[in-house]
Amino acid sequence: MGRKRPESPAVFHCLRLRENGEGCRSDERHGLERMKGAAAAAAEKDMIFAPVAIAEHKMTVEDLRSDIKNCVRTGPCGIGEKAVYLNSFFIDRRYYVMWQDIRRVFKRVAMSRGGFTGKGVFGSIPYLVVLLKDGRERQCNFKYEEEVDSFLSIVRTRHPEIPTMSEKAQARMEEERAREEARYVKDLTPQAQESIEELRRAEAYLERKPEIPAFLSVTAKEKRITDRMNPWYRYAALAIFLLAVGSVLFGIYAVIHHQGYAVYFVLFGMAFIFYTMSAQVLPTGRNNRRYADARWREALRRSGEYISRYAVGGVVSAFPLPAQYAHPAAIDRMIRVIREGRAQTVEEAYDIMQNDLQAINSDVTVSQKEYDEITAIKPMFLLCGYRKDPVIAG
């Protein structure tokens, strides 16, 4: 294969001389340098809006282009082979930090009153926090907490040496683990041990396709939020949105005709447009009961099809949970019930686990681990009314 011929004959001649071990004239050498400079400038131009390094180590333009192209995008951030990509307030994946500069990555959740009561427009506000080795901290806001959890899950898989919780949370987790171990029965009966093994096999089966239980959990939350929303909120939001659009249009008309106070109509109209859109109350193609119900039924169908292929020793067996509750967090809670000595069989563990979930409300204080489990699985139980028989998707 030959070298691609440059446009300049002088440069081409210079390259041929270099290949033959000869020298080249100064004007030819300068032509080659100009060509290389133009190529470098073109590469830099392509990466004008490239992510900016905010730590000590940096990548070359070529490595950065390849890494961000192949990175896993999770919300406004991304995970590449060489770096983590973080968002600014307005631009997704605006900055990057190479893995060797990261000390730990963890989730931070800011809770408003609406987040605890389930009422009001605002609820929990999730953040991804990246702590650098030089002591600096970078906080990225996310729209959905599930996206932060997905980000941290990928980090744990690719870089298990990086802690995915804060130092305080890690200390609390160790204390909770010690208290949890103290509650466990040391000498379990053979029947209890067999039940635990059965549940662990089922949990391992679910973890082969983590996207299926994750989709089940996400759609359950979406459907529950949509079902509980007062329809008058949507009508009010739509009215405000239409008035805001009218205000912007009138402001533009007033600007064109040089009328007073025109800019205020535009500014206030735009402010209310962004407010109603960010509140996620406006009825849209993906923010309505019909769409949420369709996604929930699709999640039930996928879960039912997957657990129907569950086999033990090559023989198709019954899954220990109905399709609507087939989530690793539910199985973890059932295993803990048996290890605490409160149940011997899988059926007994399921009943106790379900009763424990029903007893938990906003007045109960739980650990972070239990909070994550409850928020993942309780919407599924609430939607199905804690019924034990499989819910048919249709």
Does residue 197 carry a pLDDT above 60? yes
Non-local CB neighbours of 174 within 8 Å, separated by 6+ positions = none
Average pLDDT over residues 143-161: 89
Single-letter amino acid, residue 122 = F
Average pLDDT over residues 110-115: 52
| Residue extents of the structural domains in the chain | 9-46, 52-170, 183-225+288-383, 230-278
Does residue 238 carry a pLDDT above 90? no
Q: What are 128's two structure tokens?
A: 């991804």
Of the candidate ranges 8-12, 147-151, 205-209, the one whose mean pLDDT is the lowest: 8-12
Considering only the C-alpha atoms of the chain, give the largest distance between any 2 of them, rounded to a whole number of Å. 89
Does residue 105 carry a pLDDT above 80? yes
CB atoms < 10 A from the CB of 106, how many? 21
Average pLDDT over residues 255-278: 83
Q: Are 98 and 79 in contact (CB under 8 A)?
A: no
46 pLDDT band (50/70/90 cuts)? very low
111 pLDDT band (50/70/90 cuts)? low
Question: How confident is the model at residue 308, as a pLDDT?
Answer: 93
The yes/no answer on whether domain 52-170 falls in CATH 3.90.1200 is no
Could you tell me which of 202, 225, 237 has the C-alpha nearest to residue 309? 202
Calculate what percentage of the chain has a pLDDT beyond 70.
80
At 340, phi and psi to the nearest 5?
-80, -5
Distance of CA 94 to the CA centre of its chain: 17
Q: What are 293's two structure tokens?
A: 């119900």
Average pLDDT over residues 251-267: 85
Question: How confident is the model at residue 124, as a pLDDT?
Answer: 67
Question: How confident is the model at residue 326, as a pLDDT?
Answer: 95
Q: Are 206 and 213 in contact (CB under 8 A)?
A: yes
Question: How confident is the model at residue 262, as a pLDDT?
Answer: 82
Average pLDDT over residues 246-259: 87
Of the candidate ranges 158-172, 216-230, 326-340, the one whose mean pLDDT is the lowest: 216-230
At 19, phi and psi to the nearest 5?
-65, -30
Does residue 44 carry a pLDDT above 70? no
Distances (CA, A) of 244 to 237, 257, 272: 10, 20, 6
Question: How confident is the model at residue 24, as a pLDDT?
Answer: 47
Q: Report the alpha-carbon distance of residue 193 to residue 77 in Å, rounded.
A: 43
Cα 126–325–125 angle (5° rounding)?
10
Number of residues written out for the chain:
394
